[in-house]
Amino acid sequence: MSNWAAGGQSSLSLLGLANVYLHYRGPQHTFDMSGDLVYGLLKPGKARMRKNDDRLELNARYGRQFTEKLSYTAQMNLKTQLTPTKSLEKLDSLLSRFFAPAYVLASLGIEYKPSEDFSLFLSPATGKFTIVADRGLADAGAFGVQGARLDTAGVRVRGTGERFREELGAYLNARYRRGLGQNIVYQTRLELFSNYFHNPQNVDVNWENAINFKVNKLISANITTNLVYDDDILVPIDRNEDGIPDDRGRRIQFKEALGIGLMYKF
C-alpha cells in the first residue's frame, strides 16, 4: 500500500506444499509410502519476516489381504518440522525446532477398505513416541516429556529432562475422499489415539480436511483445516486478555488456510 487513505498494512505471504507418494498393488500385498511438506512465510508491514506454517510428515504402510475388503496392516508415521520457531514476544525464546518435537506412530492392526475412496484402520497395539531433541525444551517438559528435576531451591537442574517419551495404546485412522463436482475434490483424515496406561479417556485427536479446486492444468485453489487436541501438550494462554500469554494449559488447536496458486503434477 502507498498513500492509501482508507488505511491498512502492506503484507507479503508465501506458502509451498509438496506431496510425494508411491503405491504398489498386488494380488495379496499392498505397499504405500508418502511424504508431505508444507512451509509458509509471512511479512506484515515493516516487521521481520516470520514463519506461519511448517510441517514434514512421512508415512509407510504395508498390507496383506485376507478377504476382499480386509487386510492385516502395519504402518509407521513420522511428524515433525524443518526450522526453529521462536516466540513473537521474546525473539530468543525457542518454542520448537526440527525433531523438537517429533512424533512417531508404529501400528499393527486391521484395515477395512471397501473402495479406493474410503479406508478405516484400527490398531489395538500402537506405540506412540515423542522426541524432544532440544535440551532446553526437554528440561522445560515441553510436548509432554518429563521435565528436569528440581533442586532444593526449586530450580530446574539442567540436563535432567527426558528427551523421549513412549506410550502404548489403541489407534484409529479413517480416510475419505469424494468428488463434489467437476474438478472439486474433498478429502478428510481422522486420527484418534488412546493411551492404555495414562488417562485413556483423554483421546488424542488429529482431524484434517481439504477441499481442492482445479481451475486448469496449472492453477489450483484449496481450503484446508486442521484440528488437534493432545492432553499432554500445554499451549500458551492469555488469561487477562492483554495480548501477552501469561499461562499455559490444555486447549483445542485449530488452523485454517485458503490458498490459490500454481500446481504441477507428474
Residue 165 in domain: yes
Residue 250 in domain: yes
What does pTM read for this prediction? 0.85
Distance CA 249, CA 251 (A): 6
> Is residue 48 exposed (0-12), middle (13-18) or buried (19+ Cβ within 10 Å)?
exposed
Q: Residue 25: which of 71, 58, 77, 59 has the closest Cα?
A: 71
**The cell 487436541 sits on which residue?**
229
Q: Tens digit of pLDDT for each residue in 44-97? A: 888 888 898 999 999 999 999 999 999 999 999 999 999 999 877 665 688 899
Residue 24 in domain: no
> Do 72 and 39 touch, CB atoms closer than 8 A?
no
Residue 216 in domain: yes
- What is the domain extent for residue 88? 73-262
Residue 93 in domain: yes
How many domains in the chain? Answer: 1
Residue 14 in domain: no
Contacts of the segment 186-192: beta carbons below 8 A, 24+ positions apart: 186/210, 186/211, 186/212, 187/211, 187/212
> Tell me, what amino acid is at 224?
T
Residues 6+ apart with CB under 8 A from 26: none
Residue 130 in domain: yes
Residue 104 in domain: yes
Per-residue 3-state assignment (H helix, E strand, C coil) for the chain: CCCCCCCCCCEEEEEEEEEEEEEEECCCEEEEEEEEEEEEEEEECCCCCEEEEEEEEEEEEEEEECCCCEEEEEEEEEEECCCCEECCCCCCCEEEECCECEEEEEEEEEEEEEECCEEEEEEEEEEEEEECCCHHHHHCCHHHCCCCCECCCCCECCCCCCCEEEEEEEEEEEEEEEEEECCEEEEEEEEEEEECCCCCCCCEEEEEEEEEEECCCCEEEEEEEEEEECCCCCEEECCCCCCCCCEEECCCEEEEEEEEEECCCC
pLDDT in tens, the chain (266 residues): 777 777 788 888 888 889 999 999 998 999 999 999 999 999 988 888 889 899 999 999 999 999 999 999 999 999 999 999 987 766 568 889 999 999 999 999 999 999 989 999 999 999 999 999 999 999 988 898 999 998 888 888 888 999 999 999 999 999 999 999 889 999 999 999 999 999 999 999 999 999 999 888 889 998 999 999 998 888 878 888 777 777 888 889 999 988 888 887 77
